[in-house]
């Protein structure tokens, strides 16, 4: 057993070498899977929904309802982004279930997402207060730290939650392989009998539960902060 960063698979020799890691490749797989899934769910759309179209509409309604209740009507425009990031986050984290290294175990992935959210918050602020009005906030130096800490903490939260689940699953797997080789001798070391089924029970908490919660927390934070940023000054004083 070895715990290390994502393996570099190959390097594109332009711009001083762009490294294509396991994370990138699995990320592409996740995107392809999602495109196929969405194409499947939205093919043959009818006025009166039935079958798979009902599921797709339920998801869209759920996301729009969440955005409206958490971020407010003014921020309803971010709903497509929120829905996309939720799906991508869940699918990336759950890709651990098919045995590949999930893209969210790399801080680059979550940092990229939180930077997008950071840009979204800044854009919303500029839209609500005007460019110079939004600069007024930075007169207080503590606010600068507050603003800059947000993407860092969002990226670290998602990354570390999935990472801890991943490492624990690796450790449990190594332990079960060791136990089966001790219990069943040579047979066990070639074919780790105990690794069948038992890790699935742990995986329910560490992979399934954690993935859903972290994806939900991520979109929740996005909605809350964009909602706060979209408030005009006079509303802001009431809080």
Partner 1 sequence: MAIDQAVVMGASALGAGVAMFGCFGAGMGQGYATGKAVEAVARQPEARSAVTSTLIMGLAFAETTCLYGFVIAILLIFANPFTKDLVG
Residues making contact with partner 1 (CB under 8 A): 3-5, 153, 156-157, 159-161, 163-164, 167, 213-214, 216-217, 220
- In the block, tokens 């999935």 appear at 162
For 50, the 3-state DSSP assignment is coil
Kindly tell me which of 140 and 153 has the beta carbon lying closer to partner 1. Answer: 153
Using the minimum distance from each CB to partner 1, give the nearer residue, 188 or 227. Answer: 227
Nearer to partner 1, 68 or 184 (CB): 68
Alpha-carbon dihedral 30, 27, 175, 190, rounded to 10 degrees:
80
Which residues make beta-bridge pairs with 21?
Answer: 8
147 DSSP assignment: H
CB of 171 to partner 1, least distance (A): 11
Please state, in angstroms and rounded to a whole number, the distance separating the CA atoms of residues 216 and 87.
10
* Element holding 72 (H helix, E strand): none
Q: Which is nearer to partner 1, 155 or 194 (CB)?
A: 155
Kindly state the smallest distance separating residue 161's Cβ from partner 1, in Å.
6
Nearer to partner 1, 18 or 167 (CB): 167
Q: Minimum distance from CB of 185 to partner 1 (Å)?
A: 31
Long-range contacts of 190-194 (CB under 8 A, 24+ apart): none
Angle between helices 52-70 and 79-94 (to 10 degrees): 120
H helices of 130-209, in order, are 131-135, 141-190, 198-203
Residue 166 Cβ vs partner 1, minimum distance, rounded to whole Å = 10
Rounded CA-CA distance 142/153 in Å is 16
Shortest Å, Cβ 23 to partner 1: 16
Instruction: Quote the least distance from Cβ 209 to partner 1, whole Å.
Output: 9
CB atoms near residue 93 (< 10 Å): 27
Least separation in angstroms between residue 164's CB and partner 1 is: 6
- Cα–Cα distance between 174 and 149 in angstroms, integer? 36
- Which CB sits closer to partner 1, 94 or 217? 217
- Cβ proximity to partner 1: between 24 and 214 the closer is 214
């Amino acid at each position: 057993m070895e715990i290390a960063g994502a393996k570099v698979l190959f390097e594109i020799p332009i711009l001083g070498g762009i490294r294509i890691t396991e994370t990138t490749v699995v990320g592409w797989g996740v995107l392809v899977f999602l495109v196929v899934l969405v194409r499947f769910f939205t093919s043959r759309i009818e006025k009166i929904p039935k079958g798979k179209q009902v599921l797709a509409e339920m998801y869209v309604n759920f996301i729009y309802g969440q955005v409206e209740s958490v971020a407010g009507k003014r921020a309803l425009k971010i709903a497509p982004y929120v829905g996309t990031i939720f799906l991508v986050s869940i699918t990336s984290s759950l890709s651990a279930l098919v045995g590949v290294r999930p893209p969210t175990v790399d801080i680059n992935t979550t940092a990229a997402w939180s930077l997008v959210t950071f840009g979204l918050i800044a854009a919303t602020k500029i839209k609500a207060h005007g460019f110079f009005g939004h600069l007024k906030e930075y007169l207080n130096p503590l606010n600068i730290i507050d603003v800059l800490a947000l993407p860092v903490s969002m990226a670290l939260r998602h990354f570390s939650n999935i990472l801890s689940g991943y490492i624990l699953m690796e450790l449990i797997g190594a332990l079960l392989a060791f136990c089966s080789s001790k219990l069943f001798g040579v047979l066990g070391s070639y074919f780790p009998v105990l690794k069948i089924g038992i890790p699935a029970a742990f995986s329910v908490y560490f992979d399934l539960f954690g993935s859903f919660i972290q994806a939900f927390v991520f979109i929740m934070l996005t909605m809350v902060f964009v909602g706060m940023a979209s408030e005009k000054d006079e509303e802001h004083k009431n809080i």
